[in-house]
Structure 1
């Protein structure tokens, strides 16, 4: 794949995408139809897959927070074709994949995506292909690791914050995957998540360090995640506090014996 063409006015483009997301959130809050207008607007401005993934992931998260069933609402609208290559259907696929991922519905997502022919899946954009890997990783199937490596060999995919979040989420869910914590640390250290510090990536990192027995490093990392989280996101804040509790509990259990930290073998 080639990199998307540079936009002549990046600030104006960013403002346009922000405006689309704001309008969608307003429709969500008003209990109005928001999926079709958002998909049509993204198609109208010729959104790249990266732009669609950015807007759709943020909007689907907002819909989930206020109790909207994105996957269910999509099922009531005209279903997208079994091809992933038509740009006008891209936002609907992005919303559908993201909604199922936020609900940890790995099996449902696996069935939905692999119902298409392998050619269709391979021709999909990196954000959709990341969800095919997520669905397998989240079920602790080692085949997902091969899919992950193949995906991240694509510079477009490895350079996308949204793609990295998807596969990091899959690794975090796939508790029985071999070398899981080391894999998490490797993905979380990639540029789009490391600069600037991303609170979700830091939380996944802290969980991996905890699994490796590196509790003090885990505690420092989860505190960095809490500091990096913007104010007002109570749901994510609760997740961070829950991980911090797991880490401090592990520290308390080691208080009366020497703490041997396992080396980070990435």
Structure 2
């Protein structure tokens, strides 16, 4: 093919609108595929929005891997990328391509046997290049991540020949982030170890967007653990501050806010994510993401309704508890009053009967009879006072039951 004409066509659409840019890049990529020729131009930048050469190369390798989704084709893509880009722009493209192509081919995971054979051919063909093996490792790991095969991902990253052949790249933040993703989902690895791996990847400097994405994805996809919502909300808020126009990070933040019960903030955040989601480029990606965001929005709305219902129920519970306390207090007071009344009435009757007997019978002098009446009245009064005091003590009049708090039905949600 005529390299000059390709460069001319791509250069002509460099300043065109996004849809025209996509159309021309797709056409050129399709022509290269039909001619069985790899892109014959260099990629000058890592600008996936406006660089036509990068966009065209991306469309080309996307088609190649959709047609033949193997680590060997991924290795050839890595070789082409190494030969047609300068080192400063290469890392961002490596991370975006390897994980992006893995996602769109996640339904074609190679078996362990096929992967071992392919690894031998890659090492032999590319003379053990750690950069190429690293790209192929990311590609296969990305498939396992996209399918949420946590234990398989952990085993692959820790012991596969392809991952071992990545050499020094095993210490790269993205590799560590993928290890954290596998650890969070594994049932055999502790959450504390997964958090340690996450912190190591997150605190790397410089920290790429792909690392941020994998770390947030790890927290979002992990089985529930204590503090998960707060961890996701805190890290996602930091990511949004660093990448304010990234719709995916807004989505993660909305999920974290929902897990923490901040439904109002979560609704505003997911609406922003939907607004930022671009409706251009590969339509299937837009539809998949939009569907996922809308499901999250529906869950948030359910949480809002549930929170409103819970608040209403708590108000009703508190009102009922107050009414019950008032009723208990009223019944208690009424019972005490009844005892007091019966006691006083009984004492009065006893005093009346006793005083009549003292007054109407016997031969005691008036002074002695008066003394007897005083002693009888004092005894009955003491009896009444002791009875009332005992009633107060038994019924706990001065110590009403403590006010209770309704149970909180809420909690961390996935």
What secondary structure does 1:155 align onto? coil
**CA apart distance, 1:194:** 4.2
Between stretches 34-43 and 107-116, larger displacement belongs to 34-43
CA apart distance, 1:72? 5.2
How far residue 184 of structure 1 moved from its aligned partner, in angstroms, is 1.3
Does residue 175 of the first structure (1) align with residue 215 of the second (2)?
no
| Alpha-carbon distance in 1 for matches of 2:134, 2:100 | 15
Which of 192, 198, 202 pairs up with 1:152? 202
How does the TM-score come out when normalised to structure 2?
0.52
RMSD between aligned residues: 3.4
Structure 1 partner of 2:155: 111
Flag the structure with more relative contact order, 1 or 2, with Cα contacts below 8 A and sequence separation at least 6: 1
| 8 Å contact kept, 1:130–1:148 | yes
What's 1:254 paired with? 307
Q: Tell me the distance in 2 between the aligned counterparts of 1:62 and 1:205.
A: 24
Task: Give CA deviations for 1:118-177 in whole Å, capped at 9, x if unaligned.
Answer: x96884322222101111123372211011112222212x3x110111011110112323
**Could you state the TM-score of these two structures normalised by the residue count of structure 1?**
0.78
Determine which structure has more spread, i.e. the larger CA radius of gyration: 2
- In 2, Cα distance between equivalents of 1:212 and 1:171: 13
CA 1:127/1:184 → structure 2, altered by over 3 Å: closer, same or farther?
same
Which consecutive residues of structure 1, in runs of 5 or more, have no partner in the other structure? Answer: 1-8
Asked if residue 42 in structure 1 is aligned to residue 42 in structure 2, the reply is: no
Alignment partner of 1:190: what SS? helix
Moved more, 174-183 or 91-100: 174-183
Moved more, 139-148 or 120-129: 120-129
Partner of 2:185: 138
2:145: which partner in 1?
A: 101
What 5-or-longer segments of structure 2 have no aligned partner?
Answer: 1-43, 315-409
1:210 aligns with 2:258: yes
C-alpha deviation, 1:25, in angstroms: 1.7
**Structure 2 Cα separation of the partners of residues 12 and 100 of structure 1:** 27
Q: Does 1:62 align with 2:112?
A: no
CA contact 1:210–1:218 (8 Å) conserved in 2: yes
Aligned residue in 2 for 1:199: 247
Inter-partner Cα distance in structure 1 for 2:275 and 2:197: 33
Distance in 1 separating the partners of 2:84 and 2:214: 25
Q: Contact conserved, 1:161 with 1:192, CA < 8 A, in 2? A: no
CA distance in 2, matches of 1:193, 1:76: 42
Q: Identify which of 204, 228, 232 aligns with 1:184.
A: 232
Equivalent residues in 2 for 1:231-246, closer than 5 Å: 231=279, 232=283, 233-246=286-299
Structure with more helix by fraction = 2
Structure 1 residues 97 and 17: alpha-carbon distance in aligned structure 2, compared to 1, 3 A threshold: farther
Query: How many corresponding residue pairs?
Result: 246
Q: Residue deviations 1:34-92, cap 9 Å, x none? A: 4343122123236643320012222223334xx5x1545972862166xx981121210
The one of 125, 129, 144 equivalent to 2:172 is 125
1:169-207, Cα deviation, whole Å (9 max, x unpaired): 110112323321222122223357742322221111111
